[in-house]
């Protein structure tokens, strides 16, 4: 039971101890810290009890370089079931809980889908009472903050702990030492509680911070060489300083490898220490007690690191150690893009991790023998071995050194098995599994769409659906209930109004909630085809100019996306869309018809406002390229139809909700494969009406790229290609006309309001499959072999 009086007292005490203030004179962020720490006090006993309960059985560990957590306060209150109570308590103290929630900085320790998936998994595992602990890096700076200046993306460091971090506990006593080729550093764990919903279980996310073994050089300091005296300290701390914005090819590679080894080595040492305190030197049971999931290739260096520990430090024979490793690890693949598969230059690798390199060499050597015994040809062996062309292939190591590898949606897994990893599937068919991604219903509906949540709970007569999302299919019986459909439309309108207010506050731009909100929010990448969306908007603009009486419903096109700082083309696309927005939004002829808006600094907390307010979910990647997508599921759960290609999880979404309730267009994987090398985009460019007109705005002076050459480079990439790819590598021209047609279909469908609401409800009613509770239970049962355990 929630004790109001005690809670108030705790907050007061914390404000007094930490800031010497009272509730009346504390700053907003101080109140936020005080309230958050009072929650930490509240959950402390259950947190310890959960750890104790888990400690005697098999546990799973998620190794991930990224966790895109977002804000914690609102979510933790919701999951603890005390949101309303705390809100009321704060009201009595003249505090508006919304203001306090809005003060919290996002913990943006991830880039996009992969990092957010890790965060959803943490929530689901705690809620499903599964013994899963997350391990990662406590970056001092998360994903950069994005601003637009003159339409160009500007990045700034994301100092998310500026006002402190009330949700982490530093566990100095669990410090471990990590060794590199050029020295040792300390790894200090910070634990974040992962509060389960409607359960007392509290799981743990353990993030490592790098620190130097020597605080600072006293001698140098005494000699007044202040900068030099902290050089070592800074060099060590640089390792956990900043999250790498991925999706770009050239990066400070050396530091990234250090980051990976740093958190993986620290995490394994942490596990080994605990294991040995129980079983001493008997490692035969290690994999009976540990299942470690490698989130993409980033933590794959864990495979040779565990070999090193077992063979070098624990004197275990190679074969026995390899058995333990293979039975412990499993690996998830999140992309088939060749440029995203990690490879390390062996010279660099040797320098940073000399002993680990020797171990990888040994793994490679033995693997070659294995293939030779199976009569693999010389060429095949060269293709499949771990070390080739002077690089280490981390994905290959991730397949060879694990018992299971999985894709993240059915289509993606099929492509892996039949194409990208065909040879591996032949060698190890029993290793391959599919685990279609999911999203947590707590953050992605219960927290961000209370109105819709309330309606569903009323209709189903229970809140159980929040932890058993398949129950949503019981909503099917309301599919012709006019009252329900109207209420659904009213809720959507309310969320659109809320978003409009928020956008006006944040961006200073007015949008009309009566217009169709057509939203594309995701990282900026060529394969995601924001450029296709942009071309369509511009084509619509020109058609409206030509025919002012054209009958279209008002539409607001909303974009949100960060481009990796080194990804020139992605930045060009942002600038281009902002130029289109300037043209369209300032043309009085177009006023009230269409509007274009690129929101700044799209992140988890912005997402929570965008998903519930959307009428159309843009999922328009080139077929075969988007491994799964998870934004598509967030839209669906909030009653938004997908306008998309047959790609990733879109395929499964449409299968669940019906093709007639979504808007599918474009070439499918098989067709693109057939076109293959013979694709000639120029044919489309010249023959599809209106296409040339919009594409040419990249070079004909319609828009100004500030002399950067960005637009010309984009034009060339579409029409002539580049040394690393053919023209229009992502088939934008091929799909343009069909994309335009399906948009017309949306316009027509939206006019029948009740029928539109029916589509929304169909999507909600069939979103059950896409709960990350379902996904994590599948991992638990089919990969990790762990059991749920609930504290009393």
Pinpoint the alpha helices (H) of 374-519.
Answer: 378-384, 394-400, 410-415, 422-427, 441, 450-460, 482-507
CB of residue 335 to ligand 26V, shortest distance in Å: 4
CB of residue 701 to ligand 26V, shortest distance in Å: 32
CB of residue 342 to ligand 26V, shortest distance in Å: 8
708 in catalytic set:
no
- State which residue, 212 or 619, has the beta carbon closest to ligand 26V: 619
CA 139 to chain centre: 16
Residue with tokens 């494969």: 673
Segment interacting with ligand 26V (CB under 6 A) among 121-129, 244-252, 277-285, 303-311 = 244-252
Residue 250, helix vs strand vs coil: coil
- State which residue, 169 or 340, has the beta carbon closest to ligand 26V: 340
426 in catalytic set:
no
- State which residue, 33 or 772, has the beta carbon closest to ligand 26V: 772
CA-to-CA separations, 665 to 63, 643, 683, in angstroms, rounded: 37, 8, 20
Beta bridge partners of 555: 516, 594
Interface residue with ligand 26V among 49, 340, 381, 509 (CB under 6 A) is 340
Q: Is 268 a binder of ligand 26V (CB under 6 A)? A: no
Q: Is 408 a binder of ligand 26V (CB under 6 A)? A: yes
Contacts 24+ apart (CB under 8 A), 649-656: 649/408, 649/409, 649/411, 649/436, 649/437, 649/770, 650/619, 650/626, 651/409, 651/410, 651/411, 652/409, 652/410, 652/436, 652/769, 652/770, 653/763, 653/770, 656/766, 656/767, 656/768, 656/769
Q: Is 336 a binder of ligand 26V (CB under 6 A)? A: no
Question: Is 792 within 8 Å of 146 (Cβ atoms)?
Answer: no
Q: Give me Rg for the CA atoms of the chain.
A: 27
Interface residue with ligand 26V among 210, 439, 627, 757 (CB under 6 A) is 627
Q: Is 717 a binder of ligand 26V (CB under 6 A)? A: no
- State which residue, 118 or 316, has the beta carbon closest to ligand 26V: 118
640 in catalytic set:
no
Contacts 24+ apart (CB under 8 A), 480-484: 480/758, 482/754, 484/455, 484/459, 484/761
**229: closest CA among 217, 246, 243?**
217
CB of residue 783 to ligand 26V, shortest distance in Å: 15
Pinpoint the alpha helices (H) of 128-201.
Answer: none
CB of residue 791 to ligand 26V, shortest distance in Å: 30
Q: DSSP secondary-structure letter at 725?
A: B
d(CA 133, CA 205): 6
Residue with tokens 């693997």: 367
CB of residue 629 to ligand 26V, shortest distance in Å: 5
Q: Is 246 a binder of ligand 26V (CB under 6 A)? A: yes
With a CB cutoff of 8 Å and minimum separation 6, the contacts of 454 are: none
- State which residue, 472 or 524, has the beta carbon closest to ligand 26V: 524
**39: closest CA among 173, 166, 137, 186?**
166
- In this structure, the number of other CB atoms found within 10 A of the CB of residue 584 comes to 21
- State which residue, 359 or 409, has the beta carbon closest to ligand 26V: 409
CB of residue 340 to ligand 26V, shortest distance in Å: 3
Q: Give me the catalytic one of 298, 435, 595, 634.
A: 634
Q: Is 440 a binder of ligand 26V (CB under 6 A)? A: no
d(CA 736, CA 139): 41
**Residues binding ligand 26V: number (CB under 6 A):** 21
Question: Is 319 within 8 Å of 381 (Cβ atoms)?
Answer: no
- State which residue, 39 or 649, has the beta carbon closest to ligand 26V: 649
Interface residue with ligand 26V among 64, 168, 335, 617 (CB under 6 A) is 335
Residue with tokens 């099929």: 414
Q: Which of residues 510-549 bind ligand 26V (CB under 6 A)?
A: none
Q: Is 247 a binder of ligand 26V (CB under 6 A)? A: yes
Number of H helices, E strands in the chain: 34, 23
Q: Is 330 a binder of ligand 26V (CB under 6 A)? A: no
- State which residue, 331 or 367, has the beta carbon closest to ligand 26V: 331
334 in catalytic set:
yes
With vertex at residue 95, the alpha carbon angle to CA 93 and CA 101, rounded to the nearest 5 degrees, is: 140
d(CA 363, CA 370): 11
Q: Please name the helix (run of DSSP H) or strand (run of DSSP E) that holds residue 764, with its range, or none.
A: helix 753-765
- State which residue, 74 or 110, has the beta carbon closest to ligand 26V: 110
Q: Is 648 a binder of ligand 26V (CB under 6 A)? A: yes
Question: Is 662 within 8 Å of 507 (Cβ atoms)?
Answer: no
- State which residue, 207 or 395, has the beta carbon closest to ligand 26V: 395
- State which residue, 245 or 612, has the beta carbon closest to ligand 26V: 245
Interface residue with ligand 26V among 9, 215, 313, 339 (CB under 6 A) is 339
Segment interacting with ligand 26V (CB under 6 A) among 160-168, 332-340, 501-509, 545-553 = 332-340
Contacts 24+ apart (CB under 8 A), 283-286: 283/310, 283/314, 283/316, 283/320, 283/324, 286/324, 286/328
Q: Give me the catalytic one of 630, 640, 642, 645.
A: 630
Q: Is 295 a binder of ligand 26V (CB under 6 A)? A: no
Q: Give me the catalytic one of 528, 529, 609, 758.
A: 528
Q: Is 59 a binder of ligand 26V (CB under 6 A)? A: no
d(CA 394, CA 299): 9
Q: Give me the catalytic one of 269, 523, 555, 734.
A: 523
CB of residue 212 to ligand 26V, shortest distance in Å: 30
CB of residue 530 to ligand 26V, shortest distance in Å: 14
Residue 570, helix vs strand vs coil: helix
CB of residue 167 to ligand 26V, shortest distance in Å: 24
d(CA 113, CA 521): 11
Interface residue with ligand 26V among 304, 398, 629, 768 (CB under 6 A) is 629
Interface residue with ligand 26V among 10, 75, 520, 628 (CB under 6 A) is 628
Q: Which residue has its beta carbon closest to ligand 26V?
A: 113
CB of residue 286 to ligand 26V, shortest distance in Å: 28
Interface residue with ligand 26V among 337, 346, 699, 777 (CB under 6 A) is 337
- State which residue, 10 or 533, has the beta carbon closest to ligand 26V: 533
Residues 104-123 as x/- pattern, contact with ligand 26V by CB under 6 A:
--------xxx--x------
Question: Is 521 within 8 Å of 605 (Cβ atoms)?
Answer: no
Q: Is 626 a binder of ligand 26V (CB under 6 A)? A: yes
Q: Is 437 a binder of ligand 26V (CB under 6 A)? A: yes
Q: Is 636 a binder of ligand 26V (CB under 6 A)? A: no
Q: Is 407 a binder of ligand 26V (CB under 6 A)? A: no
Q: Give me the catalytic one of 334, 555, 575, 625.
A: 334
**697: closest CA among 520, 576, 524?**
576
CA dihedral 237, 240, 242, 245 (to 10 degrees): 150
CB of residue 376 to ligand 26V, shortest distance in Å: 29
Q: Is 645 a binder of ligand 26V (CB under 6 A)? A: no
21 in catalytic set:
no
d(CA 641, CA 657): 9
- State which residue, 299 or 629, has the beta carbon closest to ligand 26V: 629
Segment interacting with ligand 26V (CB under 6 A) among 330-338, 446-454, 494-502, 767-775 = 330-338
523 in catalytic set:
yes
Active-site residue numbers?
334, 522-523, 528, 630, 634
* Chain positions contacting ligand 26V, by CB under 6 A: 112-114, 117, 246-247, 249, 296, 334-335, 337, 339-340, 408, 437, 626-630, 648
């Amino acid at each position: 039971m929630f004790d109001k009086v005690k809670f108030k007292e705790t907050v007061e005490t914390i404000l007094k101890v930490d800031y010497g203030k009272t509730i009346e004179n504390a700053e907003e962020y101080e109140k936020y810290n005080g309230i958050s720490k009072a929650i930490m006090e509240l959950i402390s006993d259950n947190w310890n009890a959960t750890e104790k309960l888990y400690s005697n059985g098999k546990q799973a560990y998620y190794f991930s370089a990224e966790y895109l957590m977002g804000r914690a306060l609102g979510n933790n209150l919701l999951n603890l079931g005390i949101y309303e109570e705390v809100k009321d308590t704060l009201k009595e103290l003249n505090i508006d809980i919304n203001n306090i929630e809005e003060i919290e900085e996002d913990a943006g320790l991830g880039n996009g889908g992969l990092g957010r998936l890790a965060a959803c998994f943490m929530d689901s595992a705690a809620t499903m009472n599964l013994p899963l602990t997350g391990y990662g890096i406590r970056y001092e700076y998360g994903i950069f903050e994005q601003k637009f200046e003159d339409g160009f993306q500007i990045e700034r460091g994301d100092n998310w702990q500026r006002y402190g971090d009330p949700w982490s506990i530093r566990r100095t006593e669990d410090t471990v030492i990590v060794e590199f080729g050029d020295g040792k550093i300390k790894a200090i764990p910070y634990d974040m509680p992962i509060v389960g919903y409607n359960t007392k279980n509290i799981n743990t996310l353990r993030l490592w911070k790098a620190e130097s073994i020597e605080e600072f050089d006293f001698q140098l300091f005494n000699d007044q060489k202040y900068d030099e005296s902290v050089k070592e300290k800074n060099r060590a701390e640089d390792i956990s300083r900043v999250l790498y914005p991925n999706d770009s090819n050239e990066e400070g590679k050396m530091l990234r490898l250090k980051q990976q080894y740093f958190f993986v080595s620290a995490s394994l040492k942490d596990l080994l220490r605990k294991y040995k305190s129980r079983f001493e030197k008997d490692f035969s049971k290690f994999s009976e007690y540990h299942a470690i999931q490698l989130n993409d290739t980033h933590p794959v260096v864990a495979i040779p690191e565990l070999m090193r520990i077992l063979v070098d430090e624990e004197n275990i024979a190679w074969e026995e150690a390899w058995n333990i490793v293979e039975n412990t690890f499993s690996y998830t693949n999140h992309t088939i893009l060749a440029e995203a598969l990690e490879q390390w230059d062996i010279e660099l690798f040797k320098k940073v991790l000399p002993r680990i390199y020797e171990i990888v060499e040994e793994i490679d050597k033995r693997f070659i023998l294995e293939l030779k015994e199976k009569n693999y040809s010389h060429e095949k062996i060269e293709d499949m071995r771990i070390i080739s062309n002077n690089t280490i292939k981390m994905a290959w190591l991730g397949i060879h050194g694990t018992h299971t590898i999985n894709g993240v949606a059915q289509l993606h897994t099929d492509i892996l098995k039949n194409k990208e990893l065909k040879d591996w599937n032949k060698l190890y068919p029993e290793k391959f599994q599919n685990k279609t991604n999911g999203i947590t219903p707590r953050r992605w509906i219960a927290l961000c769409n209370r109105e819709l949540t309330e309606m569903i709970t009323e209709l189903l007569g229970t809140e159980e659906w929040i932890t058993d999302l398949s129950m949503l299919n019981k909503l099917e019986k309301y599919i012709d209930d006019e009252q329900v459909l109207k209420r659904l439309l009213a809720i959507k309108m309310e969320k659109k109004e809320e978003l409009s207010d928020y956008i006006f506050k944040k961006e200073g731009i007015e949008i009309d909630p009566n217009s169709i909100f057509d939203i594309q929010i995701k990282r900026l990448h060529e394969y995601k085809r924001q450029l296709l969306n942009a071309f369509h908007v511009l084509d619509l603009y020109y058609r409206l100019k030509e025919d002012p009486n054209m009958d279209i419903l008002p539409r607001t096109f909303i974009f949100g996306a960060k481009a990796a700082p080194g990804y020139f083309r992605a930045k060009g696309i942002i600038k281009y869309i902002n130029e289109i927005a300037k043209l369209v939004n300032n043309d009085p002829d177009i006023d009230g018809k269409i509007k274009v808006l690129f929101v700044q600094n799209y992140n988890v907390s912005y997402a929570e406002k965008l998903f519930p307010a959307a009428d159309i979910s843009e999922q328009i990647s080139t077929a075969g390229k988007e491994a799964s997508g998870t934004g598509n599921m967030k839209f669906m759960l909030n009653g938004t139809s997908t306008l998309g290609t047959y790609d990733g999880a879109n395929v499964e979404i449409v299968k669940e909700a019906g093709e007639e309730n979504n808007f599918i267009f474009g070439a499918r994987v098989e067709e693109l494969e057939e076109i293959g090398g013979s694709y000639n985009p120029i044919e489309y460019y010249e023959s599809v009406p209106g296409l040339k007109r919009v594409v040419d705005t990249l070079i004909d002076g319609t828009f100004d790229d500030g002399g950067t050459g960005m637009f010309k480079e984009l034009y060339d990439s579409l029409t002539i290609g580049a040394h690393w790819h053919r023209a229009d590598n992502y088939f934008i021209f091929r799909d343009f006309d069909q994309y335009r047609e399906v948009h017309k279909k949306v316009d027509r469908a939206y006019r029948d309001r009740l029928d539109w609401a029916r589509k929304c409800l169909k999507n909600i009613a069939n979103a059950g499959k896409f709960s990350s509770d379902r996904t994590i239970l599948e991992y638990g049962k089919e990969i990790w072999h762990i059991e749920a355990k609930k504290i009393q």
